[in-house]
Amino acid sequence: MNPDMTDQILIPAWVDGTLQPVEKLDVHLRGLKHKAVSIFVINEGRILIQQRALHKYHTPGQWANTCCTHPHWEEPTLDCAQRRLNEELGITGLTLQSRGQIEYRAQVGPDMIEHELVDVFVAEASENLEIQPNPEEVNATRWVSPAELRHELADAPDNFTPWLHIYMADHAKTILGSK
């Protein structure tokens, strides 16, 4: 079974002020603050973005940064980021650099809220990066400059995930540097 489609995956979430393992779907339905990971793969200033698979239980078909996920209970965030890059996009061997943590809260469906404490990672990729999207996770990928992405976010906001809007509006300098 696709690990992203099941609510049986236990992720770290805060319940009554204590970090506990909670089923992923339950976390989103209750809007609990939880740990997450976001990755931005960059090549010559362009960002690899992905369109989420059309059957995802929230934000299906919307464009997001390269990869986003939740660490499993007690999984180190760097290990999680490397695992998920491979699972979603078939990408291995990149050196991920931490860009710190970002906290946000956003509505991601009629009854779902992402309240995430996100460890953000960035990796510089070579021109010949091999990308093999997993169709269970990713509908499409493309490279886009930060300027093009900002323009598209403004022109067609519903085509993009809420967290990508937040990252680009409030945290682009931290994530991407001066771009």
Q: Which residues are catalytic?
A: 68, 116
Tokens 């990149």 correspond to what residue?
Answer: 94
Residue type, position 68, single letter:
C
* Distance (Å) of CA 105 to CA 7, 43, 111, 145, 162: 20, 29, 13, 26, 9
Helix H or strand E encompassing 34: strand 33-43
Burial 9-35 (b: 16+ CB within 10 A, else e): bbbbbbeeeeeeebbbbebbebebbbb
Contacts (Cβ under 8 Å, ≥6 apart) of 27: 11, 13, 34, 70
